[in-house]
Amino acid sequence: MVLRASCPDHGGTGILPAAILQFGITSNTTEFRCSERRRWTWPRISSGLGMTIFESTRPLAWGELDVPLFGLGQDWYGARVEPAAGFALVCDAQRLWFVASHRRPAVLHPQARPGLFQAELWRYDVAELFLADPHSGRYFEFNLAPNGAWWSCEFTAPRVRAEVTDLAMPEVATFSELAEDGSWVAALALPLDLLRARLDFGPATKANVTFILETPRQRFLTATKLESAAADFHQPEHFAAISRQALPRLSPQDARLEDTREENLS
């Protein structure tokens, strides 16, 4: 599997195996490095960029993802997060994929099991996706643990649950990869037909991506700027509009690099 560490409009694209993801920070970009000392850069996301969903004309599959990542290099209070966390949203004809990664060992919920539904993942290291319908005020929260455990909940208003008990959204798939040094990458694949039926998912949908890292200290990261002194991710009125962009293909140079990497691994 390969992940590209740049937004295609800004150049500097690179590819490397998810198992050796490594993030760093420079003054105005997030920097991506691998063991061969090559470097790739991509801009940190800001509230003005909105939330980009890359669209693939081909079915996506874990192990074959070729996805640009956005980097989050500051926590809720503006302190530097190093290494940065990375994420991407990408969809094919059937599913919306949420990909998250961090180059530091994670502290997992003690009951988190790969692929299984688990409440209260937010008490430990987790990546989160929020999707909101601005017309009804309803929104979904999806939690993704670094090992692929997950949780979801529908809200009718900020922190007002649609159901008292936890109900797992059907047909959700998760994937994860943990490296020996603790680096991790995980993905959550959500069925688009259910998102359309439950949330009227479409051009008007608003979104946000957040992380909770470094448990028990817990640092809170958000892709879009939220308005409160204390960390509070449940602010759907401040989620960002979605923009859609074609998933860029590998450049010939990147394709050669990937072919060389695969030959070295074989």
pLDDT tens digits for 216-230? 999 999 999 998 999
pLDDT tens digits for 160-191? 999 999 999 999 999 999 999 999 999 999 99
Question: Span 84-108, mean pLDDT?
Answer: 97
State the chain's maximal CA–CA distance in angstroms: 52
What are the phi and psi torsion angles at 118 (to 5°)?
-150, 125
Return the structure tokens found at 177. 């990869």
Report how many helices (DSSP H) and strands (DSSP E) the chain contains, helices first: 2, 19
CATH number at residue 123: 2.60.40.1190
Token match 């999806």: residue? 142
pLDDT the model gives residue 193 = 97
Looking at the 3D structure of the chain, how many domains does it have?
Answer: 1
Closest CA to 125 of 154, 153, 103, 140: 103
**DSSP assignment letter at 247:** P
Q: Which domain does 42 fall in, by range?
A: 2-265
What percent of the chain is predicted at pLDDT more than 90? Answer: 71
pTM: 0.81
Token match 């800004």: residue? 10
pLDDT tens digits for 146-160? 999 999 999 999 999
**DSSP assignment letter at 8:** G
Query: Above 70 in pLDDT, residue 139?
Result: yes
